[in-house]
Amino acid sequence: FAGLADVSISEDIPVEGEITVPVGSHSPDEDYSTLDEPVRDTIMRDLKAVGKKFVHVMYPKKSSALLRDWDLWGPLVLCVSLALMLQGGSADSKDDGGPQFAEVFVIIWFGAVVITLNSKLLGGTISFFQSLCVLGYCVLPLTVAMLVCRLVLLAGSGTISFIIRLIVVVAMFGWSTLASTAFLADSQPPNRKALVVYPIFLFYFVISWMILTFTPQ
């Protein structure tokens, strides 16, 4: 740069120009700014998403909406309500009663995480949270079964009520397993589908067992 040593810029030449931002049309990015909308809109949008997923679970068709926009609100609500309804199980001593709230919570979440890890280790293409979302939402039929069981138990706890509860729980268990299999089975390599479906079956079986053996105080 030795040749440029004697170059100088005169200070009395003004630098001028125009800095303008072309005003484009209404850009789509502005629609996603949710800071200015009323709180009611924000909450209702999330609630509608959760509700739409509930409907997807009750009528399991092969749709990718459940997988694409995963959220964990639904599973949380279902898990908490199921664990709350499983409270109040009879216990002669503290050790022999039904599952406590923390036990149900841990079983559901830990079980869902283990199944997700299992399907990913076997070579599945679904993402971690999508799988958790599907497994959590498919607990909905079993929560409905728990509700029905509690109502039936209010009427009485004899043999007939047990048979009704058994039929309801078995039906909902089948529904849960079929719903989650419909969503999850496609993302697995074809010769390992059974290896992935079996833990899901075991998971919902354990939850159904907890629901069926619930006896009120």
**H or E element: which one contains 103?**
helix 101-121
The SS3 assignment for 89 reads strand
In the complex, least distance from residue 122 CB atom to another protein, rounded to whole angstroms = 5
In the complex, least distance from residue 100 CB atom to another protein, rounded to whole angstroms = 8
Residue closer to another protein (CB basis): 81 or 100? 100
Residue type, 30: E
Cα distance between residue 199 and residue 208, in whole Å: 14
Residue closer to another protein (CB basis): 119 or 143? 119
In the complex, least distance from residue 133 CB atom to another protein, rounded to whole angstroms = 20
76: left (phi over 0), alpha (psi -120 to 50) or beta: alpha
Residue closer to another protein (CB basis): 16 or 92? 92
In the complex, least distance from residue 129 CB atom to another protein, rounded to whole angstroms = 16
Could you list the residues that contact another protein (CB under 8 A)?
89-92, 95-99, 103, 118, 120-123, 191-195, 198-199, 202, 205-206, 209-210, 213-215
The answer to whether 211 and 142 are in contact (CB under 8 A) is yes
Residue closer to another protein (CB basis): 106 or 178? 106
The SS3 assignment for 136 reads helix
The answer to whether 142 and 207 are in contact (CB under 8 A) is yes
Helices and strands of the chain, counted as H and E runs? 8, 0
In the complex, least distance from residue 171 CB atom to another protein, rounded to whole angstroms = 19
Residue closer to another protein (CB basis): 57 or 168? 168
Partners of 89 in the β-ladder: 216
Residue type, 109: W
Residue closer to another protein (CB basis): 54 or 209? 209
The answer to whether 108 and 79 are in contact (CB under 8 A) is yes
In the complex, least distance from residue 194 CB atom to another protein, rounded to whole angstroms = 5
